[in-house]
Amino acid sequence: MTKFIVDAHLDLSMNAMEWNRDLRKPISEIREREKNLTDKPDRGKGVVNFEALRKGNIGLVVATQIARYVAPTNPLPGWNSPEQAWAQTQAQRAWYAEMERVGELKSITDISSLEAHLQDWTNTKPIGYILSLEGADSLVTVQHLEFAHQYGLRAVGLAHYGPGRYAQGTDATGGLGPQGKELLKEMERLNIILDATHLCDDSFWEALDNFKGAVWASHNNCRALVNHNRQFSDEQIKELIRRNAVIGGVLDAWMLVPNWIRGKSTPRQMNCDLNKLIDNYDHICQLAGNANHIGIGSDLDGAFGTEQSPFDIETIADLQKISILLSQRGYTQQDIENVMSGNWLRFLRKVWA
């Protein structure tokens, strides 16, 4: 019997609007259409579409809006003004709305819509999505957050890669500054979840010190297993556990095996399979003393495909294999249910109560 799955991190609208993928089409057709393109590293290798989500019984996802502002000195891809970044997230929002109109997706924003969706779900129904903002750069002002909350935004990660307008992200250093603290206050007022993923160490500790609301980490693994600032240290994991957070295990191969060389390493050559995810789960469970703080946050459409996914993933439907692997490692049935969906659902019920 397939388990109901919550995946707490997918970049669906980025794939639709920047990668130009029609997620209603079969994976084979999406790959075929991209096979001669070279503009993105994962062209022709995507693993996420609506059909695969339904096949995997992935009935609820946390889906992102994402658009980075880049200063003139920032070499990362992004938009040259916060206003352009905001407009990009609004195009992404329009795509979600259109997918709702055609019956592919359903917006989940509160306890009643959550419970109704869980009650109704079969894999022929619209997939539930909770809207999250990955990196806050596109919020032109702190006041933009209230408008975003009105259209359904329920979680915010303050930063992504590099320096940000509200916090510093992966590979950057430094704290929040006054604007970041002001944004956290507004998130608290609106009951918006803080996503601790991608915060650099300085910003992570400062954000948690300045935020009294609910915190999760939608897609993050362990620094003890792959030593990189994108991963959480044991001290960070312990603090998240103390804050009743759930941490979503992420399936980007370089975060699962050490010494991965982008563009050169292959999943098979590095022996990167789904067991590496379970190693991260085990590590967090040892620190927590239970399995109540782990879940799935696959990021399987986050600018990589089969070339940088565990080799036992052909499409996102293969997330079902996680329950078998957990069972083989001695996790109880209750623990397995919690990892596949229960921990995220408990978290949401508490936040939205």
List pLDDT tens digits, range 235-292: 999 999 999 999 999 999 999 999 999 999 999 999 999 999 999 999 999 999 999 9
Q: Give me the percent of the chain exceeding a pLDDT of 90.
A: 99
Cα separations (Å) of 106 from 59, 64, 349?
10, 14, 18
CA distance 322 to 339: 9
Q: Is the pLDDT of residue 83 over 90?
A: yes
Residue 315 Cα distances to 16, 35, 56, 97, 333, angstroms: 17, 17, 9, 25, 25
- What is the pLDDT confidence band of residue 177, given thresholds at 50, 70 and 90? confident
Check residue 243 and give its pLDDT.
Answer: 98
Per domain, the residue ranges of the chain are 5-352
pLDDT for the residue numbered 141: 98
Q: What's the rounded mean pLDDT across residues 2-20? A: 97
Average pLDDT, the chain: 98
**What's residue 74's pLDDT?**
93
So what's the pLDDT on residue 82?
98
Q: What is the rounded average pLDDT of the residues 196-218? A: 98
pLDDT of residue 2: 82
Does 63 have pLDDT greater than 70?
Answer: yes
* pLDDT over threshold 80, residue 1: no
Q: Are 137 and 82 in contact (CB under 8 A)?
A: yes
**What burial letters (b/e) apply to 244-258, b meaning 16+ CB within 10 Å?**
ebbbbbbbbbbbbbe
Concatenated DSSP letters of 17-67:
HTS---TTS-HHHHHHHHTT--SSTTTT-----HHHHHHTTEEEEEEEE--
Q: Which residues pair with 251 in a beta bridge?
A: none
CA distance 301 to 1: 26
pLDDT at 35 over 90: yes
Task: State yes or no: pLDDT of 46 exceeds 90.
Answer: yes
- Cα–Cα distance for residue pair 347/216, rounded to 1 Å: 9
- Calpha distance 65→98 (Å, rounded): 15
* CATH superfamily of this structure's domain 5-352: Metal-dependent hydrolases (3.20.20.140)
Collapsing DSSP to helix, strand or coil, 346 comes out as helix
A 10 A CB-CB count for 147 gives 12
Helix (H, G, I), strand (E, B) or coil at 232: strand
